[in-house]
Chain A
Amino acid sequence: MKLSDILKQFKNIQPDADFSRRSRTEILLSPQSERRTMRGMFAFLHVIETGAAVALAGFFILILTGSFSPTRSIAPIQYAVIDPAGLHAEAQAIDMQIQLADIVYPQVTSTAVATPAVSVALTKAFATVLGTSKASSSAAVATSTTDASTSAPTASTTPLSVDQALQQLTQ
């Protein structure tokens, strides 16, 4: 038999059936942990890569808009310059301050506002000084007198400014 014929017969060599089954079982049951670890690592690297990409993108945007302080001088255009909403807000803040300047003085000398609590306190004080019945009756008299003289029903309960009250108390 020639050597070539012998070699051709090698094609027909097959493993023992029992050996094949045992080998397949061992392969299928072998642990796969190493492969899983590698997959997790790749996923982690992928996350890092995406994060780095987003961070770099943010950095470039900051440079372009001039918001990153060291690059302010090299940023070509700053959006604030052409931002009508921002301009309007700042101009409006100035207008509000101008209005505030127009009303600032009347606040200093404005009439003190009488609250119900203070009115009650003063009424109680009068009651202590004058006696309860007299205080209430005299208050009624005072109110009617004032109302009659001023023809303005609310004038008697309108709080006086500090200076108005002092002026009347000098007489």
Chain B
Amino acid sequence: MNYLKTIAVSAFFTLFAAGAVFASGFLGMPVAHADAAVPATTATIAADECGVTQADVAQIATVQNDPTLAYADEIKQELAVRKLLVGETIDCAQQEVQALQTSLASTSAPSSAQQLQSQLEGDLNEATGFYNNELAKLDVVGIAGTKQIAQEVLTWRAGTFLPLGENVNNFILWAQNQDLFSTAQTRMAQTQRAVSFIESATPNPALQTALASAQSSFDDAETENTAVEAALTQNLSPDQTLGLIKQSLSSLSDTYKGFSNVSTIVSGILPQ
């Protein structure tokens, strides 16, 4: 008898709780938020503790135009100022690399992309090595040498570092997107089960259409997401890769519009 009593009380609690869930759901009170993926905080890429201002660079002209200085002193002081400024600028550039290294190291990538992540980490280490070499050169050059070092670093950054930085950013962005895709995949599976359950009881063409639309957008998003990984691996231009990332996110957004339509239709079908 006690067992029967326990089961009866359980049934009472179950009905009560289920009623509360339904009531709160239909009254618009969120019972439990779905596992909404919230993107990780954006990585701070810019070096935020360094800076060379126009006034700092103007110190060179000030020395050059100082009538109180003898020629030898002028050369000596201009060289010292230039070395200081080039060194400070390269320090800033190194902080950019460190910021990227930190962001990349804290990025959780799928196992298929870990080799790519290691490769990018290696490229950033090479960048640090390049800057260290240029800083070492500063010790033994004259005024023309400092100008040459500035030019070398400028050229190298345009051809090598800036595309690398953009690729690293694209990789981090893509890696962050994977949680969103995983959440969408789970929701798609749940939606499909719910729709097929409802369809088995009451066929509803509008519901089928809404689900098909969501599925189509999700398929597009997945294809584009895979293409991003290929683009990163094949080292396509960063602009192209970013374009694919944006496209995949746009398709994922369309998928959620489809989910929203399904949700609206299902809410109308279920008893109020």
Interface positions of A (Cβ within 8 A of B): 45, 49-50, 52-54, 56-58, 60-61, 64-66, 72-73, 75-87, 89-98, 100-102, 104-105, 107-115, 117-119, 122, 125-126, 129-130, 134, 138-139, 141-143, 145-146, 150, 155-160, 162-163, 165-171
Q: Which residues of B contact A125 (CB under 8 A)?
A: 84, 88
Q: Are A114 and B51 in contact (CB under 8 A)?
A: yes
Q: Are A105 and B62 in contact (CB under 8 A)?
A: no
Task: Answer yes or no: B124 CB below 8 A from chain A CBs.
Answer: no
The verdict on A145 contacting B61 (CB below 8 Å), with A94-B256, A166-B150 known, is yes
Interface string of B12-52 (1 = CB under 8 A from A): 11101110010001001011111111110010111111111
Q: Are A160 and B154 in contact (CB under 8 A)?
A: no
Q: Are B173 and A156 in contact (CB under 8 A)?
A: no
Q: Give the contacting residue for A49; candidates B9, B12, B193, B197; CB below 8 A.
A: B9
Task: Answer yes or no: B109 CB below 8 A from chain A CBs.
Answer: no
Q: Are B173 and A104 in contact (CB under 8 A)?
A: yes
The verdict on A142 contacting B62 (CB below 8 Å), with A57-B17, A84-B263, A169-B82 known, is yes
Q: Are B66 and A134 in contact (CB under 8 A)?
A: yes
When A and B form their complex, what is the total count of cross-chain residue pairs whose Cβ atoms lie within 8 Å? 299
Q: Which residues of B contact A83 (CB under 8 A)?
A: 25, 30-34, 263
Q: Are B34 and A110 in contact (CB under 8 A)?
A: no
Q: Are A91 and B253 in contact (CB under 8 A)?
A: yes
The binding surface of chain B is classed by DSSP as: helix
Q: Are A80 and B42 in contact (CB under 8 A)?
A: no
Task: Answer yes or no: B184 CB below 8 A from chain A CBs.
Answer: yes
> Smallest Cβ distance from A154 to chain B, in angstroms?
10
Interface positions of B (Cβ within 8 A of A): 2, 5-7, 9-14, 16-18, 21, 25, 28, 30-39, 42, 44-59, 61-63, 66, 77, 80-82, 84-86, 88-89, 92-93, 95-96, 146-147, 150-151, 153-154, 157-158, 162, 165-166, 169-170, 173, 176-177, 180, 183-184, 187, 190-191, 193-194, 197-198, 238, 242, 245-246, 249-250, 252-253, 256-257, 259-260, 262-263, 266-267, 270
* In the bound complex, CA of A81 to CA of B187 (Å): 7
> Smallest Cβ distance from A140 to chain B, in angstroms?
9
The verdict on A56 contacting B6 (CB below 8 Å), with A83-B25, A108-B169, A169-B147 known, is yes
Q: Which residues of B contact A86 (CB under 8 A)?
A: 30, 32-36
The verdict on A145 contacting B58 (CB below 8 Å), with A49-B9, A85-B30, A159-B52 known, is yes
Q: Which residues of A contact B84 (CB under 8 A)?
A: 122, 125-126, 129
Q: Are A170 and B162 in contact (CB under 8 A)?
A: no
3 cross-chain pairs, A with B, having the tightest CB-CB distances, nearest first: A86-B34, A114-B51, A57-B13
Q: Are B13 and A122 in contact (CB under 8 A)?
A: no
Q: Which residues of A contact B5 (CB under 8 A)?
A: 49
Q: Which residues of B contact A56 (CB under 8 A)?
A: 6-7, 10, 13-14
Q: Are B88 and A53 in contact (CB under 8 A)?
A: no
* In the bound complex, CA of A90 to CA of B33 (Å): 10
* In the bound complex, CA of A137 to CA of B119 (Å): 50
Q: Which residues of B contact A109 (CB under 8 A)?
A: 162, 165
Q: Are A54 and B13 in contact (CB under 8 A)?
A: yes
Residue of B nearest to A51 (CB): B6
Residue contacts A-B, CB under 8 angstroms, 9 given = A91-B257, A98-B253, A105-B238, A112-B48, A118-B49, A129-B81, A156-B58, A159-B52, A165-B89
